[in-house]
Amino acid sequence: MSGCLSIVCAKFVHVHKMIFVSTLLCLGGSLFMTITLKVTPLSLWIGALLLGFGIGNMIANSLNSAKRLVSQPATVVSLILASIYTGKIVAPLILGYLLDNLDPMWFLYLCVLYSGCMLLLLIAFQVTLFCNQRGQRLVQECNERLENQMSEL
């Protein structure tokens, strides 16, 4: 369902903003569950809904963003998709084993840690992208100035 929602939103919202919102949804859902789980069981459903929508949108948006930034052959995109779906299959098995053998709160702590790391990586990616675009503009301006000076000679 969140994948369908991300397809509709992609028509109106820039991909990088959607990835940022998805990351915030993941972080918000995990923090919400971690803080309020002891208060009411309903918080588990609300937090899981936020976390699920965030993760569901993130995979499609990340692949779309990567496709826009770097031209990739179809085989590379196929390998990326195969990796994503393999992770989607294996992760529940590992988490089920961990939840049986550890305290379930550790899962929530890992979700918060994971979401926080995703947010930091997203910020680093955005800063790198901004610096790269600014650097390309500066190089282009320098090349234009150099061409103008060369044509004057």
> What per-residue confidence (pLDDT) applies to 18?
79
> What per-residue confidence (pLDDT) applies to 56?
76
> What per-residue confidence (pLDDT) applies to 72?
63
> What per-residue confidence (pLDDT) applies to 7?
66
Q: How far is residue 69 CA from its own chain's centroid?
A: 15
- Measured CA to CA, the distance from residue 20 to residue 40 in angstroms comes to 28
Q: Spell out the residues 6+ positions from residue 24 whose beta carbon is closer than 8 angstroms to its own.
A: 54, 119
> What per-residue confidence (pLDDT) applies to 49?
82
Cα–Cα nearest to 6, from 46, 66, 53: 53
Cα–Cα nearest to 28, from 114, 125, 123, 112: 112
Give the predicted TM-score (pTM) of the model. Answer: 0.60
Cα–Cα nearest to 19, from 93, 109, 119: 119
Cβ(82)–Cβ(39) below 8 Å: no
> What per-residue confidence (pLDDT) applies to 10?
67
pLDDT tens sequence for the chain (153 residues): 666 666 677 677 777 777 778 888 878 888 888 788 777 778 778 888 887 787 777 777 766 666 666 666 667 767 777 776 776 677 677 777 777 787 777 777 877 787 788 788 878 877 877 777 777 787 788 878 878 877 776
Cα–Cα nearest to 118, from 42, 31, 47, 49: 31
- Measured CA to CA, the distance from residue 21 to residue 71 in angstroms comes to 25
